[in-house]
Structure 1
Amino acid sequence: MYRVVIIDDEPIIVTGLTRMIPWADYGCEVAGAAYDGLEGLSVIRSMRPHIVISDIYMPKMNGLAMAAALKSEFEDMELSLLTGYRDFDLAQEAIRLGVTRYILKPSNMEELQEAVRVMVSNLQRKGITGGKLAEEEGHALPQKESAAGSFTVNRALEYMKENYSHKVTLTDVADNTYVSQWHLSKLLNRHTGKSFSELLNTIRIEEAKKLLADPALRVGDVAEKVGFLDMAHFSRVFKKVTGISANEYRNTIK
Structure 2
Amino acid sequence: MNKKVILVVDDEPRSRQGIRKTIERLAFDQYEVITAENAAEALNRIDNEKVHVLITDIRMPEVSGLELLKQLKEKAQDPVVIVISAYSEFEYAHEALELGVVNYLLKPIAKEKLMDAIEKAVDIEKQREKTGMFNKILDDKLIEMQELTKYNRAVQQAIEYIDMHFEQELTLKEVANQVHLNPSYLSALFKEELQITFSEYVTRKRIQEAKKLLLSTDLTVSEIAEKSGYQTSKYFIKLFKQFENTTPNGFRKQNVSDS
> TM-score normalised by the shorter chain: which range applies?
0.3 to 0.5
Q: TM-score, normalised by structure 2?
A: 0.45
Q: Which has a greater percent of helix?
A: 2
Q: TM-score, normalised by structure 1?
A: 0.46
Query: Which gives a bigger RCO, structure 1 or 2 (Cα 8 Å, sep 6+)?
Result: 1
